[in-house]
Chain A
Amino acid sequence: MQAELGKPSPFQPDKGKVSIYVDCSPTAAPVFEGRGGDELSAELSTALQRCLLGGKSGTGAGIDLSSLSIVEGKICWDLYIDGLVVSSDGNLLDALGAAIKAALSNTGIPKVQVAASAPSDGQPEVDISDEEFLQFDTSGVPVIVTLTKVGRHYIVDATSEEESQMSSAISVSVNRQGRICGLTKRGGAGLDPSVILDMVSVTKHVSEQLMNKLDSEISAAEACEEES
């Protein structure tokens, strides 16, 4: 996670900006060498953006963007989320979603003080505090669960061997309240709408388990860090 000061988009002056970028390292597979991993990286980046950041108008984002705003219309935080795939055995999207959630819970945005007397059209002066940090609120951040359809069954958390046989897959991002924040379907095979609804409800159920497990692991890790 990296946060830099930037100017908010004119369409959403009261929100910060987040950009997600995923890179596939050749250590995961020799085919990712040079430009080989670019296609997969782009696919993962856009899928993550769709699942976590909401639509073009910025509404319904899983990550609360208004908390990143400093001075409405003038200054905001640009949050860059960078992911790197080092070792791959299937189900990258779920793993990346979990990693982003864990990283966000560890992110602290420095407190910023805005100079009171600011010229009306120029850039206000800001003073970035080195000491105080605001912990990012991750209770609203969704978790991504991918269901892969192989033959007539759906499986959760597919390995790459299983993914090689899939006909299609649905990735759903669900937040703590059980609401769906984003949905992506991959694979060319057609799915019956009733099947899709069924898969989505299975995902909601699984996501609860995943969310609980993730939260407990994150708090355990934080406790360890505080001790050491």
Chain B
Amino acid sequence: MKKSVVSKEYQNLQKDILALQENWKKSINPESIIPNLDKGAMSAGVPAAALTSINFEISLFLQWIEEINTLLTKMNPELETKLAGISALVNEETAIRWIDEAFSFNSVYFASFAEENGLEEWIPQFLAETALRPYLQVTAEKVQHEITHAVPGAGCPVCGEPARLAVLRDEGQKVMTCPRCLAHWQAKRIECAHCGNYDHNTIQYITIEGDSTSQIQVCEKCTGYIKVIDTRQYLSMPSSAMLDLNTIHLDFVAQEQGYQVVGQVKQSN
């Protein structure tokens, strides 16, 4: 899609990062990822990656962080001074911590790490998350055949990322996709991914004039939303990560209208 609110430079950076991650995935030994899927836990909404034993190769992780630094500096030389001290800060011990905290998306930890070490707030989590994703994606590829649906409100059944993106495929099937680990699972056309509501009276759609391929599906019960993209109209299918990025204007619109990334049903006594 040419029309996107995201600048061409940032899109190119993301494309380069995705290419790096694809490359990194090749160096992951599939045997180092051992899924131990417990049906009971999964039906309660525990992400598959949390039930998987992943033998992280720390030296690879550290090397990837170096590679991201190089790419970021190449794209924006101004970042060189800001990223200069990272290599010295991230040793094996920190790397293990970063993997754990990135996996559980612990923004508080990364913010305090940045503050303690005089880094800009976005840097540690961005690096850790970018270097963690190849492991999550290989895990998703390994367990994909077991992933048929998700538990409403539990997010991605593989990595736990909040569900926010669906694509329409083939005969109009709605397939939820995760821009983080690239797992996908089927969903009903009229169904809220956050609270499981399937009442057609309380599920609405917001469309953008002139944008014939996108819809925002909103739930009046939990005020959650997801983006639904009709990729059948596309000339070529972009990766979920790029699709999520290029449709970020839909997130702005939905949130301006008062809808949330994670819907919550209000409890009343």
- State whether these chains interact: no
